[in-house]
Structure 1
Amino acid sequence: MASDSILLVMDMINDLVHPDGAGGKSYVPLMTARGVYANTIRAIGRARAAGMMVGYVRVGFSPDYREVPDSSPVFTKARDGGIFKLGSWGTEVHADFAPQPGDADIVKHRVSPFYGTALAPLLSARGIRRLVLSGVSTNGVVSAAVREGHDRDFTCVVLEDCCAGATREEHEFALAGLRRFAQVANADSF
């Protein structure tokens, strides 16, 4: 692991990955069955031990959802369901993966962690060239990060055992497509 790398833990927020969160029924069963929680904890520990920067990407919106476009089938459901409100328990990173002082906190209003966020300036300022990616969903934020990261000339590594889709099929299908743009590794080999 090099100092020009960052581990991005993406959308591992209570609304999506906590058993009591709004999305708990979607992601928690597969994450539990595949060991994603323990794997992600291990990956974060390995990154910190190696001196690698750790960053957290969180989807979230103002309480009035002013950033949600009416044309989005994904985010209008969030608005209608009252989830992803910044400042609420739901948009906090799950306690198992808690950020530490100095970790990057990137808030996004779309699927991509690059779109309209401070991620690109942060990576540039820190001399980051390699993105190590984890989170939910594999077919959402992870896929968007790989594709846009690739096009911005970053080396991308997906930690397969630290990601999940709402279904095993979504996860596997996303990984099949991402192998063209990224190395696929795991929590013990990045």
Structure 2
Amino acid sequence: MKTAFIGIDYIIDIMHPEGKIARSAEQAASRQVIANANKILAIAEKNNWLKLLVKVGFSANYTEQPKDSPMFAKAKQLGALSLVGRGTDFHPDLHADKADMVIIKPRVSAFYCTELEAALRANKIERLIIAGVSTSMTVQSTSREAHDRDYEIIVVEDACAAPTQQEHDSSIEFLKNIAHVVNVQQLEKEI
């Protein structure tokens, strides 16, 4: 089955201790999310899967930033998620150079106003391996959209994190309704 790995928002502002809105940084570090994402990239390379990294970001003047969004409203004020700053760079330990494509998204879902669907269709992808930060936002949102677009979905639990373990666990329980949930070790054995 044609497969793609989608790694979402492994960027400094969201999940690195130096990030401007890095509510998930502590959980991501303790869960070794970047090390696990790198393992998935290696598995993807070995299996010839399409490797896509997705990151949220806004132009220098924040034109596409949703001003009334409780989540994004303060981004400009904080100087967060600017595509011209360091905050939208991938985590320095992530092997981002292994990606076949980097996709920029202006909202929570990796599908919204991005080139993701075109890349998946052009490569005749049927199954998506999804992981990212945060579990409760971008992983859930992207997985829901993928489900509604009839992709088979596998969420790699130990390559995801949320601001709290409880929020992560709750999101994973929800995701089990629309996706097969595995850890990196299971991914390598089962796929």
For the criterion TM > 0.5, the same-fold answer is: yes
Contact 1:58 1:107 in 2 (8 A): yes
Equivalence map 1:28-177=2 (5 Å): 28-100=25-97, 103-177=100-174
- Greater shift, 145-154 or 43-52, is seen at 43-52
- TM-score normalised by length of structure 2: 0.93
Runs of 4+ aligned structure 1 residues displaced above 3 Å come to none
Number of the residue aligned with 2:4: 6
* Cα distance in 2, alignment partners of residues 30 and 94 from structure 1: 14
Q: Which amino acid aligns with 1:140?
A: M
Q: Secondary structure at the match of 2:185?
A: coil
Deviates more, 1:118-127 or 1:15-24: 15-24
Q: Partners in 2 of 1:96 and 1:60 — Cα distance?
A: 20
Q: Give the Cα–Cα distance (whole angstroms) in 2 for the partners of residues 79 and 50 of structure 1.
A: 40
Do residues 187 (structure 1) and 161 (structure 2) align? no
Provide the aligned C-alpha RMSD in A.
1.4
Whole-Å separation in 1 of the counterparts to 2:81 and 2:158 = 25
Bigger drift between 48-57 and 134-143 goes to 48-57
Displacement after TM superposition at 1:23 (Å): 3.1
The answer for unaligned runs of 5 or more in structure 1 is: none
- The residue identity in structure 1 corresponding to 2:69 is S
Q: CA deviation at 1:92?
A: 1.2
Distance 1:101 1:174, change over 3 A: closer
Contact map agreement 1:132 1:156 (CA 8 A) in 2: yes
The more displaced of 15-24 and 71-80 is 15-24
Q: Secondary structure at the match of 2:181?
A: strand
Distance, in Å, in 1 between the alignment partners of 2:186 and 2:44 is: 11
Q: Deviations over 1:122-147 (max 9, x none)?
A: 10001111110111000111001110
Deviation of the 1:120 alpha carbon: 0.5
Asked if 1 retains the 8 angstrom alpha-carbon contact of 2:129 and 2:153, the reply is: yes
Identity %: 36
Moved more, 70-79 or 6-15: 70-79
Corresponding residue pairs, total: 187
Deviation of 1:171 (Å): 0.5
Secondary structure at the aligned position of 2:160 is classed as strand
Q: CA-to-partner distance for each residue in 1:41-69, whole Å, 9 max, x for gaps?
A: 21111111221111010000011110012
TM-score for both structures, normalised by structure 1: 0.93
| Partner Cα separation in structure 1 for residue 26 and residue 76 of structure 2 | 24
What is the SS of the residue equivalent to 2:48? coil
CA–CA distance in structure 1, aligned partners of residues 171 and 110 of structure 2: 17
Q: Cα–Cα, structure 1 residues 83 and 166, in superposed 2: closer, same or farther, change >3 Å?
A: same
